[in-house]
A = this chain, B = another copy of it.
Amino acid sequence: MSGNSFGLLYCVTSFGESHGPAYGGVVDGCPPGLVLSAADLQAELDRRKPGSSRHVTQRRESDAVEILSGVFEGRTTGTPIGFLIRNEDARSKDYAAVADKFRPGHADYTYLQKYGVRDARGGGRASARETVVRVAAGAIAKKWLKEKYGTRVRGYLAELGSVKIPFESWDEVERNPFFAASREVGKLEAAMDALRSSGDSCGARVNVVASGVPVGWGEPVYGRLDSDIAAAMMGINAVKGVEIGAGFASIGQKGSEHGDEMTPQGFLSNNNGGVLGGISTGQDLTVSIALKPTSSIRLARRTIDRQGRAASIETTGRHDPCVGIRATPIAEAMLACVLIDHALRHRAQCGDVAPPVPIGRKP
């Protein structure tokens, strides 16, 4: 298995470049019998679509997805689900300036050094546009998880640069143009406007939560659920940090504070974030990720060219000043893909096991 597939049993394979003909993916291992149509994938793709507000890239893409296989008479057949998303608005001329120089903080440099060649148009394979594949694959995973186990995977923007956004309600997320779980909009728009006029970019924090995860998913000691979640999250473009449960705050906690006590009604807290020993506890799975600021900015920066000579670079083109905004559906998708994979892996090995300990689900 080379680098563009992930998942052992729910296996997602991705291809495509920013300015090539299309992105596409293959989901292999989906259980048969799931009611599925392109509309299920489209709904999630529309959530991450560019151009949805003035705070994200103005590239115009319908991101219309076509299912090419694996679905017959409205149901999955158990065979691989191939899907395709054509690129439409690929203005290669915008990128002529960056073809010969490397954007600080961007993968331009490493791709060229690794492969000896690179498709510089729009970041090529390194473009965050690749995440359409993840979102489409995640949409299928989400649907199956919800129908089979009642599992829901939801995320929200928790920090926009230095602005911390309190969680108010899940209901706000789909209404809020920033995926914030808050009625707050003005302060965020002001922050974005200031950013755009300065020609700079900022980072973000996104939180993702899966509720309704049964106890027992995850394969210690290396195929742990938390380990696979960490890989999935750190593999999203621009992510530089991943926390589960109390995360880095665990360092300053005492054991008597961190260790979640149990009662017949369930756990009394959730510092573990829904996973102990690499196995889900039945509590909410809580994950938090840090996204770095967009590396394509208007401000001039020092760099080098392909010959290794000193140069300066300013990136115009159409870029999200904060890639973290559109990261919410992507992070949800990745978590959903990890969960379905482990649901299937657990059923394979432990399909005969009924969890012996009766316990409630609290909180």
A354 touches B79 (CB 8 A): no
Interface centre among A13, A103, A271, A308 (most CB of B within 10 A): A13
Q: Which of B256, B304, B324 is within 8 Å of A301, CB to CB? A: B256
Docked-complex contact B250 and A292, CB < 8 angstroms: yes
Within 8 A of B (CB), among A22-49: 22-24, 26, 28-33
- Interface check A277, CB cutoff 8 A: yes
User: Which A residues from 139 to 183 make CB contacts under 8 A with B?
Assistant: 148, 159, 161-162
Chain B residue nearest in CB terms to A82: B15
**Cross-interface CB contact of A110 among B216, B240, B268, B290, cutoff 8 Å:** B216
Which 6 A-B pairs have CB atoms at the shortest separation, nearest pair first?
Answer: A107-B277, A3-B219, A3-B223, A105-B259, A15-B82, A201-B255
A50-84 contact mask (Cβ, 8 Å, vs B): 1 or 0: 00000000000000001011101101011111101
Given contacts A5-B5, A250-B291, contact A110 B78 (CB under 8 A): no
- Of A221, A292, A356, chain B has the most CB atoms within 10 Å of the CB of A221
In the complex, what's the smallest C-beta–C-beta distance from A213 to chain B, in angstroms? 12
Q: Which residues of B contact A96 (CB under 8 A)?
A: none
Residue A116 interfacial (CB < 8 Å)? yes
Asked whether, in the complex, the Cβ of B111 is within 8 Å of the Cβ of A252, the reply is no
Q: List residues of A (111-154) whose CB comes within 8 Å of B's CBs.
A: 111-119, 124-126, 130, 148
Residues of B within 8 A of A252 (CB): 161-162, 202-203
- Contact: A114 with B4, CB < 8 Å? no
State whether A105 and B17 are in contact (beta carbons under 8 Å apart), knowing that A28-B3, A114-B346, A244-B234 are contacts in the complex: no
Does A328 touch B at the CB level, under 8 Å?
no
With A24-B82, A33-B116, A228-B231 known to touch, is A263 a contact of B302 (CB < 8 Å)?
Answer: yes
For A356, the chain B residues whose CB sits under 8 A away are 112-113, 116, 306
Instruction: Decide: A250 and B290 in contact? CB cutoff 8 A.
Output: yes
Q: Are B235 and A125 in contact (CB under 8 A)?
A: no
Contacts of A90 in B (CB 8 A): none
Known contacts: A114-B346, A253-B202, A290-B243. The answer to whether A124 contacts B77 by CB under 8 A is yes
Contact of A8 among B1, B70, B275 (CB under 8 A): B1
Q: Is there contact, CB below 8 Å, between A258 and B304? A: no
How many copies the complex holds: the figure is 4
How many angstroms between the C-alpha atoms of A119 and B79 in the bound complex?
A: 10
* Given A13-B28, A126-B220, CB of A20 within 8 Å of CB of B68: yes
Known: A32-B349, A33-B352, A106-B276. 12 other contacts (CB 8 A): A3-B29, A5-B11, A12-B222, A17-B69, A21-B68, A32-B116, A78-B114, A79-B220, A230-B242, A256-B299, A256-B301, A308-B358
Other-chain contact of A295, B23, B124, B233, B255 (Cβ < 8 Å): B255
- What is the bound-complex CA distance between A13 and B222, given in angstroms? 9
**A329 on interface, CB distance cutoff 8 Å:** no
Say yes or no: A224-B220 contact (C-beta < 8 A), given A115-B78, A302-B261, A354-B116: no
- Give chain B nearest CB distance to A16 CB in angstroms: 5
Within 8 A of B (CB), among A214-254: 215-224, 226-235, 237, 239-254
Say whether A279 faces chain B, with CB atoms less than 8 Å apart.
Answer: yes
Contact across chains for A68 and B16 when beta carbons are under 8 A apart: yes
- Is residue A264 contacting chain B, with contact meaning CB distance below 8 A? yes
